[in-house]
Chain A
Amino acid sequence: MTLAPSVLFNIGSFPVTNTLLTTIVVDVIIIALVIVFNKCLSLYPKGIQNFLEMVYEYFYNATKEVSSKVEIIYPWVITFFIFIVISNVLGQFPGFETIRFHAAGTGEEGVPLFRTATSDLNVTLAFAVISIVMCHFYSIRYTGIKSYIGRFLSLSPIFLFVGLLEFIGEFTKIISLSCRLFGNLFAGESVMGTISSMSIKILGINIPLPFFGVPVPFMMLELMVAVIQAIVFAMLTMAFMSIMLEKH
């Protein structure tokens, strides 16, 4: 398994990678969920409506607890959570990493057709950049340019230094957000790939470890990581936005 996503084919000069394909699959799943939700929308919830209302209410109330600008923050937080959690959980489904695509120059083994979207740094970095850029955008819009600049610049040397640290901190936020999610998911996939490909020799016969159900605990762990990392990303976005939306 490589750090970089595999290019399946090119549309003009645009490379279509396996993580991009998975992103499209995730989009389709989310849109399908939205359609089903809107079709069975009722005052008395059941099934998918219950689940989506639960997610919405959880993040909405959590945002309400930390910020007064709940209406601005919550759509970003929930969208990050929904996309990341579906993408992460989807990676545990059969077919991911196992269905191979034979493109030109991919050799006899080919490349995985699907790969967890969040195990691609392009995706996690894009999300982190969106999260932090929107924090700054809303900070300027709702607290004013003076208050925004006041966060980083001050006439007092101590606060100027603190402001400098804050400024650097904004970049480290992007790196930490993107690398945390990418690292966890990539590591998980690597572990799963390694465990699934291992075998044990009994009486001269190679028996793969999955035959004994060895990957099951790892899958459970990965499912936990999938949900936890989605919550962490969403919650951090919420925290960053709520801090930036407060007047300095």
Chain B
Amino acid sequence: MDIITNILNLFGLEGKLFIAQIINFAILLIILKIFLYKPIAQILEERKAKIKQGLDDAENAKKALVDADNQKTLILKEAKVDADKILENTKVSSENYKQKSTEDAKKQAAEIVDNAKKQAQDEFVKASKQVGAMSVDLSKKIVAKILSEIFTEEDKNTVLSKAVEKIEQGGYEKTAN
């Protein structure tokens, strides 16, 4: 027993100091647990979540980029097809339009020519009529002048009317021919 007491004294082992150290450690553990380990764990968790979020975002962005690239290629392909189609349609419609315009122009030209011919015919008929009327007038005047010197007034009128009638008949026939 003395040996143990001597050893304890040699190393300065004291019950009160021993218990004080245990209490001290317990207090320190509680303080560190609340004010150090908990905040560190929280901040590490937050950081982990943020890093995960960042990586996920990067992955999503990468996927979105690939999707956008694919979509771009698809759109460009579709646009090219559409453009080719539109170009083809435009060519066809322009060809049709050209043909139609040419046909319309030809038709219109033919119509103009026909109208011109008709108008010329009408003008000719009108002119013939006028010339005929003028010839009748002139013949009347010539015949009247000649007959006034040979025939009486009554004969003169008879002959004149018959002559006019004849002239008129002959003149129309001529005009008609």
Interface residues of A (CB under 8 A from B): 2-5, 13-15, 17, 20, 23, 27, 30-31, 34, 37-38, 41-43, 45, 52-53, 56-57, 74-76, 78-79, 82-83, 120-123, 125-127, 129-130
Contact B20 A79, beta carbon cutoff 8 Å: no
A20 to B25, CA, bound (A): 12
Contact A38 B18, beta carbon cutoff 8 Å: no
Given A14-B16, A83-B25, A129-B22, answer yes or no on A30-B32 (Cβ-Cβ < 8 Å). Answer: yes
Contact B28 A27, beta carbon cutoff 8 Å: yes
Contacts of B166 in A (CB 8 A): none
User: How many of chain B's residues touch chain A, expressed as a range?
Assistant: 20 to 34
Interface of A is mostly: helix
Contact B32 A41, beta carbon cutoff 8 Å: no
Binds A, one of B43-51, B75-83, B140-148, B168-176: B43-51
How distant is A116 from chain B, measured CB to nearest CB, in Å? 14
Contacts of B21 in A (CB 8 A): 20, 23, 122-123, 126-127
Contact A79 B28, beta carbon cutoff 8 Å: yes
Contact A4 B12, beta carbon cutoff 8 Å: yes
Q: Is B24 an interface residue (CB 8 A)?
A: yes
Given A30-B28, A126-B21, answer yes or no on A43-B10 (Cβ-Cβ < 8 Å). Answer: no
Contact A79 B32, beta carbon cutoff 8 Å: yes
With beta carbons under 8 angstroms apart, the residue of A37, A79, A121 that contacts B29 is: A79
Contact B11 A53, beta carbon cutoff 8 Å: no
Contacts of A30 in B (CB 8 A): 28, 31-32
Q: Is B36 an interface residue (CB 8 A)?
A: yes
How distant is B60 from chain A, measured CB to nearest CB, in Å? 22
29 cross-chain CB contacts under 8 A: A3-B11, A4-B11, A5-B12, A5-B17, A23-B21, A23-B24, A30-B28, A34-B36, A41-B39, A43-B43, A43-B46, A45-B43, A56-B40, A56-B44, A75-B37, A76-B29, A78-B37, A79-B28, A79-B33, A83-B25, A120-B12, A120-B17, A121-B12, A121-B13, A122-B14, A122-B21, A126-B25, A129-B22, A130-B26
With beta carbons under 8 angstroms apart, the residue of A5, A38, A127 that contacts B25 is: A127
Interface residues of B (CB under 8 A from A): 9-14, 16-22, 24-26, 28-29, 31-33, 35-37, 39-41, 43-44, 46-47, 50
Contact B25 A79, beta carbon cutoff 8 Å: yes
How distant is A7 from chain B, measured CB to nearest CB, in Å? 9
A42 to B44, CA, bound (A): 10
Contact B10 A4, beta carbon cutoff 8 Å: yes
Contact B44 A57, beta carbon cutoff 8 Å: yes
Minimal Cβ-Cβ distance residue in B for A133: B22
Closest 10 CB pairs of A and B: A4-B12, A126-B21, A122-B17, A121-B11, A56-B40, A79-B29, A34-B35, A126-B22, A122-B18, A75-B33
Contact B32 A75, beta carbon cutoff 8 Å: yes
How distant is B5 from chain A, measured CB to nearest CB, in Å? 13
How distant is A88 from chain B, measured CB to nearest CB, in Å? 15
Contacts of A38 in B (CB 8 A): 35, 39
How distant is A22 from chain B, measured CB to nearest CB, in Å? 11
Contact A15 B14, beta carbon cutoff 8 Å: yes
How distant is A134 from chain B, measured CB to nearest CB, in Å? 10
Contacts of A56 in B (CB 8 A): 36-37, 40-41, 44
With beta carbons under 8 angstroms apart, the residue of A3, A83, A126 that contacts B10 is: A3
A56 to B42, CA, bound (A): 12
How distant is A10 from chain B, measured CB to nearest CB, in Å? 10
Contacts of B33 in A (CB 8 A): 75, 79
Contacts of B44 in A (CB 8 A): 53, 56-57
A75 to B35, CA, bound (A): 12
Contacts of B35 in A (CB 8 A): 34, 38
Contacts of B14 in A (CB 8 A): 15, 122
Contacts of A4 in B (CB 8 A): 9-12
Contact B18 A126, beta carbon cutoff 8 Å: yes
Minimal Cβ-Cβ distance residue in B for A124: B21
A123 to B43, CA, bound (A): 33
